[in-house]
A = this chain, B = another copy of it.
Amino acid sequence: MPVKNGEFVKLEYTGKVQETGEVFDTTDEKVAEEEGILVENKSYGAIPIIVGAGHLLKGLDEELIDLEEGDEKTISLTPEEAFGERDPKLVQLIPMKEFKKQGMKPQVGMSISSEGVTGKIRSISGGRVRVDFNHELAGKSLEYHVKVAEIIAGDEDKIKSMIELHYPNPKIDIEKTEVTIEDGVAKISMDEMAKFDNKPYMDITFARFRIARDVWENIDTIEKVEFVDVFEKKAPEEEAETEEVPEVLDKAEE
């Protein structure tokens, strides 16, 4: 069965800058290591996406259609299909004294953040610092090598794949996550570890919203997604262990 729009697939890919051959992203740990872009604690391997759902660059999404499970393909993307053209207005000259005010010593190549946007210092001269807020890959043609590692079948597995994609805690064990579907409602009970996440509840809510939206927009039979945290009365000997949890918290709250 060829891949169509709305299909849940696991994708392997490696992306290069066409002109230089520089690899900037890959799902293959060995390639990442060879290219010197290995990120520690990142989990490598095929990543789950939905074709046409905006999880990938537009140019890539379109090129996946009609591939079969196991198929590989090399795809060239123009800047428009990838990260857009460079915008000269996003290059700004900032007086050196602004950096000094904040106790910063600007250097060429340094990344700085301002109001949530990241820029790179391109040059320094005449008391002015040239900062480029364009995306690193703006204006570049890219070449992706992709492989459809798996076409995900079964609604439970499709839902789990979106948890893998969106849930902001890489330590969650997807094998311990239970998904059941009944009467148009998907109930998700995550790995017990998810309960002890230190991230703000709101961040988890946004991730859950993304999972839920991808699910109801791409699985016709589901209209509602419930995330369920279960607390269950334990047998007395087990309970003795759990008892200590709230005490630890009491101290942390003081």
Contacts of A202 in B (CB 8 A): 195-198
Within 8 A of B (CB), among A185-205: 194-205
Q: Are A254 and B205 in contact (CB-based, < 8 A)? A: no
Residues 147-190 of chain A, each 1 if its beta carbon lies under 8 Å from chain B, else 0? 00000000000000000000000000000000000000000000
Chain B residue at minimal CB-CB distance from A248: B206
CB of A252 closer than 8 Å to a CB of B? yes
Residues 211-254 of chain A, each 1 if its beta carbon lies under 8 Å from chain B, else 0? 01100100000011111111111000000001001100101101
Count of identical protomers in the assembly: 2
Chain B residue at minimal CB-CB distance from A199: B201
Contacts of A216 in B (CB 8 A): 233
Chain B residue at minimal CB-CB distance from A203: B249
Q: Are A229 and B254 in contact (CB-based, < 8 A)? A: no
Q: Are B201 and A197 in contact (CB-based, < 8 A)? A: yes
Chain B residue at minimal CB-CB distance from A198: B200
CB of A107 closer than 8 Å to a CB of B? no
Partner of A229, one of B198, B208, B210, B249: B208
CB of A99 closer than 8 Å to a CB of B? no
Q: Are B195 and A116 in contact (CB-based, < 8 A)? A: no
Within 8 A of B (CB), among A23-59: none
The 5 closest A-B pairs by CB, nearest first: A212-B231, A197-B201, A206-B249, A216-B233, A195-B205
| 7 additional A-B residue pairs with CB within 8 Å, beyond A209-B246, A216-B233, A227-B231 | A195-B201, A198-B200, A198-B201, A198-B202, A224-B231, A224-B232, A224-B233
